[in-house]
Structure 1
Amino acid sequence: MPAKGKHRRPKSNPLARRFVAAGTGGAALALPMIGATAAEAAPSTAPAVAQAVTAASPAAAPAKAPATYSVVAGDTLSGIAQEHGVSGGWQKLYEDNRKAVGADPSLIRPGLKLTIGGKAAAERASAPERADRSAARTATQAVAKTTTYANNLDGWIREALDIMKQHNIPGSYEGIHRNIMRESSGNPMAINNWDSNAAAGTPSKGLLQVIAPTFQAYHVPGTANDAYDPVANITAACNYAADRYGSIDNVNGPY
Structure 2
Amino acid sequence: MRTALRNTKLTTGLTVLGAAGIATTALGGTAHAATTPPQTKPAAHATQTAADKDDKKSDKADDKKAEKKADKAEGKGKGKDGKSYPDNLDGWIREAKAIMDKHGIPGSYDGIKRNIIRESAGDPNAVNNWDVNAQKGTPSRGLLQVIQPTFDQYHVKGTPDKLTDPVANIVAACNYAADRYGTMDNVDSAY
Partner of 1:211: 147
Distance in 1 between residues matched to 2:146 and 2:173, nearest whole Å: 7
Partner residue of 1:162?
A: 98
- Structure 1 residue 145 displacement after superposition: 4.7
Matched with 2:7 is: none
Does residue 247 (structure 1) correspond to residue 183 (structure 2)? The answer is: yes
DSSP 3-state at the match of 1:217: helix
Length-normalised TM-score, structure 2: 0.58
What pairs up with 1:91-110 in 2 under 5 angstroms? none
Deviation readout 1:163-209 (Å, 9 max, x if unpaired): 00010000000000000000000000000011110010100000000
1:230 to 162, 166, 181: 166
Identity of aligned residues (%): 65
SS across alignment from 1:149? strand
- 1:103-126 CA-to-partner distances (Å, cap 9, x unmatched) read xxxxxxxxxxxxxxxxxxxxxxxx
Post-superposition Cα deviations, 1:36-85, rounded to whole Å, max 9, x if no partner, equal xxxxxxxxxxxxxxxxxxxxxxxxxxxxxxxxxxxxxxxxxxxxxxxxxx
Measured on the aligned residues, the alpha-carbon RMSD in Å equals 1.3
Q: How far is the alpha carbon of 1:146 from its aligned partner?
A: 3.7
- Of the three residues 137, 152, 163, the one matched with 2:88 is 152
Counterpart Cα distance in 2 of 1:242 and 1:203: 22
CA contact (8 A) 2:124 2:143 kept: yes
SS in 2 for 1:201: coil
**AA in 1 matched with 2:85:** Y
Aligned residue identity for 1:152: N
Quote how far apart the aligned CAs of 1:144 are: 6.6
Give the Cα separation in 1 of the matches to 2:166 and 2:96: 9
Partners in 1 of 2:126 and 2:108 — Cα distance? 22
Q: What is the identity, as a one-letter code, of the residue corresponding to 1:250? A: N
Does structure 1 residue 186 correspond to structure 2 residue 97? no
Any unmatched runs of 5+ in structure 1?
Answer: 1-142
Contact 2:80/2:158, CA 8 A, preserved across alignment: no
Give 1 or 2: higher strand fraction. 1
CA 1:166/1:146 → structure 2, altered by over 3 Å: closer, same or farther? closer
Output aligned runs, 1:38-57, within 5 Å: none
